[in-house]
Amino acid sequence: MKKVGILTFHKAHNYGAVLQVAALICFLKNQGYAVEAVNYLSPPNRRYRLILFFKRRNVVKLLWETLFLFGRRYLRHRAFERFMSTYVIHSQAPVKEKNDLKGLDYDAYVVGSDQVWNTDITAGFDDIYWGNFSTEKPARKISYAASSENYPYDRRNKEKVRKGLRNFDALSVRENAFAEYLQKVTTQEISTVVDPTLLVPSGFFENLAVPPENRGRFVLVYQVVENHEVLCVAQNIARQLDAEVIEIRSKITGMVKRKNVIETARPEEFLGYLKAAQCIVTTSFHGTAFSLIFQKSFYFVDLKNNANRSRALLNDLSLQQRVISTSDDVLFSSIDYEYPIQILRKKRKFSADFLKKALYDL
């Protein structure tokens, strides 16, 4: 059986990150490959170690945060670690630098998905995510749905990008605009494919979702960066639906646990809340993606600082009317998913065919 290693943010305690790699592993396993995430300890994969809680703090601050924060931090850490131990298979040997890849026994490396080509997230130009590594065993290198929010790159990194793209046997990214930008610096064909969460059948996530207990009607808010005005949008919609507002946080920030603010949900519970909501209000790409997967009524709030990826996806599906601003007076409406799902099926088939073709000669 041929072996495929995935290079992505597989250890990030972020709902989108762990669910996209779990989906990609599922897809490739169903194609008959032995698959695992390469245990590459890049900055995004090291950032969520629990031991970091106890470092770089004065004694008073450490005691204070241990009393009021550590319990919730521990619960969240355990929730993600348990999910990853079940659904995100990864290689045992840690990879700290590109020379550590030489002895690995993969027939192909798939780089992506997620923002692996965002130099702000990866703390500079990351050679491994750009395929700048050698292996003792001949192996194909494929980018799948690689993404970035911080292009165009500066002059120094632009030349590195040009050289990096040459390392790949097959290239794909997640957004059309990013593909068009990269196409200017390479003669290789760059395909635009869907995020792995949209690559697998929705049943994969339906089976994972754990429904919330003792909840009535609610509007769900999911933000990566907290913005109070987004909550105001959700409250307006909740009044129209005679529902309450529940918020799932991407991180723990406050000293005190607040009512209807969920900070320690397991990824399975995160999916359950999305599936059960009457409406979803989000500023997140993966919040948008899972709204589509579960065919929910939703609104993506454009805060201008991280909107390109969700805008591109919704434009492709002719759902650009679901993009709103915090100043909009939203009159709630449901979504007719018949046409968007037809488009999504075509995009999913194209994306699956790209990956199958890229791996065909193994």
Specify the pLDDT at position 249: 87
Specify the pLDDT at position 292: 97
Specify the pLDDT at position 227: 87
DSSP 121-142: TTTS--TTTTT----SS--EEE
pLDDT value at 90 more than 90: no
pLDDT value at 306 more than 80: no
pLDDT tens by residue, 39-65: 999 988 887 766 565 565 676 566 656
Q: Is 310 exposed, middle or buried (0-12, 13-18, 19+ CB in 10 A)?
A: buried
Average pLDDT over residues 278-286: 96
pLDDT tens by residue, 170-219: 999 999 999 999 999 999 999 999 999 999 998 999 999 999 988 899 99
The string over 192-227, giving b where at least 16 C-beta atoms fall within 10 Å of a residue's C-beta and e elsewhere, is bbbbbbbbbebebbeebbeebeeeeebbbbbbbebb
Q: What angle do CA 9, 10, 11 make, to 5 degrees?
A: 95
CA dihedral 23, 199, 358, 316 (to 10 degrees): -140
Residue 222: closest CA among 174, 289, 295: 289
Structural domains of the chain, with CATH: 3-200+346-359 (3.40.50), 203-331 (3.40.50.2000)
> E strands, 152-216, where?
171-173, 190-192
Specify the pLDDT at position 65: 67
| pTM for this prediction | 0.93
Average pLDDT over residues 282-290: 95
